[in-house]
Amino acid sequence: MSMDSPARAAGAISLALKSPFTEETGLSPPGSGRALSPQIGGASQQESQGQMSRTGLSARCAGLALLVWLALPPAQAAEPAPQFGRYLPLYPGLYLDASYALDPADSSYDRNGDRQGSAAPQAGGHTAFPERRLRASLTWHLPLFEGRDLPFFSSRTHLLRVSLNQASVRTDGRLAEFAADASDDASTDADDLRNNGSGVGDLGFEFGSFLLGSPSSGWRSGERPPYALLATVGVRLPFGRYDRDAPVNAGSNTAAAQLQLGGHWQPWSGGLVDAGFTWRHYFDNEEPAFGALDPARQGSDRLIDLSLAQRLVSGWYASVYGLDRQGGHNRYLNPRYSPNPPSPGGIPGSVDTFPTPGNYQDEGSALRETGLGLHWFASQRVLIGLQYSHPLSGKSGQFLLPYTNRAPAGCTPGGLGCNVSAGDTVLVDGLGAARVFASDRWTLSLRYQFGQGDPYACAGCKR
């Protein structure tokens, strides 16, 4: 599959204008004034451009409708499995990326990095947080201010992306029993707990520019080097469903900002290498969930990803990836209860115990995982993939929580006749972003491009 073939360069799902992804189709090359569909005999350039414009508009409307639909079906999200070619310049146009991930989330790592057979081992027994998460993003690859000669912006292509997701999450096992047990609410302050907060997830926006490998002067002809460097800045807005009385939620209730730098390289025919670094900062969570066992401030993440993909046969690619995420210390503010409180001692009913108010922090979280993928170009516009992800090591957030005893039970500390004393200290699991699961994960992905053509009506014509 030659990389200098203009027919291959016309592929709509090609992840670049001159991409090794596409196959011989006999379609007209981009910029020729024809729509990217089988040639219409006798059609003039202007008629073809008009049809391309109408088809593109219909396709974009259909894409927006599909995106809305994707937000309606059915998760605590792991890092999405990296797609191959993710830092490769795409031909200017609109792209839909969708993925559906299944994670049993029935095991986790403790603070020492040891694998535990429960998602929340300190609760006792077995707990699982099974999730199904559907992600969707719309990405526009485009030149900006080509005719304005603006420094930086006019000389390269850029991207804009909006992302959303829908999650079905639930709590099974010991922690679900704790949430459903009303008999201990008075002694633990665990009032009216719920199982989950399934629903729409948070909303994300990104803007990026190709620092290398995608000059605006060459995107129409497909003249570009076999490497690229992409820088993006993004934000996540906490618009997702969030129940402060549930241990798992679709949304995070926490805004985040991130910077990413990613590189792409095609070292040989049919081979693609992508590597990136991401720094992510989180803002305060004003209502930490499940008795404030969710962090009030999640530690910043540093993430490195690396993938290699190779063409097997016509239309089929295999990929392997590795991912390493290091999270900073998570902070917790005034936890109100835990599922494993210590015994207060004394005569039953005369003494009770409650978490000592204060600020606490864990030792951070970490995840290192690898995965395999198989990808099929069903057509020039459609790429379907199946990926398997396997954690290699990790670390969850856990912290020591001291308790205070009070007698008589239920009295107000500082009040007349209320005696308090130091109680025992227990190790508790941080929930939400502090949990790092040790379970394998499957992801089914789809990429679709809504038409392809020059965004300027007179591109390629003579004035």
Mean pLDDT of 354-376: 96
User: Angle at the Cα of 207 (from 253 to 299), degrees rounded to 5?
Assistant: 35
DSSP per-residue letters across 45-97: HHHHHHHHHHHHHHHHHHHHHHHHHHTS----PPPPPPPTTTTSPPPSEEEEE
In total, how many domains does the chain have? 1
Amino acid 149 reads D
- pLDDT of amino acid 49: 39
Q: Could you give the CA distance from residue 164 to residue 70 in angstroms, rounded to a whole number?
A: 9
DSSP per-residue letters across 108-133: EE-TTS-EESSSSGGGSS-EE--EEE
In a domain, 345, yes or no: no
In a domain, 346, yes or no: no
Q: Which of 14-28, 230-244, 280-294 has the lowest mean pLDDT?
A: 14-28
Please give the share of the chain, as a percent, with pLDDT higher than 90: 63
The string of pLDDT tens digits covering residues 290-340 is 999 999 999 999 999 999 999 999 999 999 999 999 999 999 999 999 999
In a domain, 432, yes or no: no
Q: Which position has the higher pLDDT, 41 or 217?
A: 217
Question: pTM of the predicted model, to two decimals?
Answer: 0.80
The string of pLDDT tens digits covering residues 61-85 is 444 333 333 333 333 457 888 888 8
Structure-token pair, residue 358:
């204060």
Structure-token pair, residue 45:
């350039």
What is the sign of the dihedral through the CA atoms of 253, 254, 259 and 261? negative
Q: Which of 104, 74, 252 is nearest to 173 (CA)?
A: 104
- pLDDT of amino acid 200: 95
- pLDDT of amino acid 186: 52
- pLDDT of amino acid 368: 97
Size of the chain, expressed as the number of residues it contains: 463
In a domain, 356, yes or no: no
In a domain, 10, yes or no: yes
Through-space distance between the first and last CA atoms of the chain, rounded to whole angstroms = 36
209 phi/psi in degrees, rounded to 5: -135, 140
CATH number at 30 reads 2.40.160.40
In a domain, 138, yes or no: yes
- pLDDT of amino acid 36: 26
Structural domain of 315: 6-36+44-329+365-396+438-449
- pLDDT of amino acid 222: 67
Mean pLDDT of 21-49: 30
In a domain, 107, yes or no: yes
Q: Could you give the CA distance from residue 382 to residue 208 in angstroms, rounded to a whole number?
A: 23
In a domain, 408, yes or no: no
- pLDDT of amino acid 451: 67
Mean pLDDT of 271-292: 96
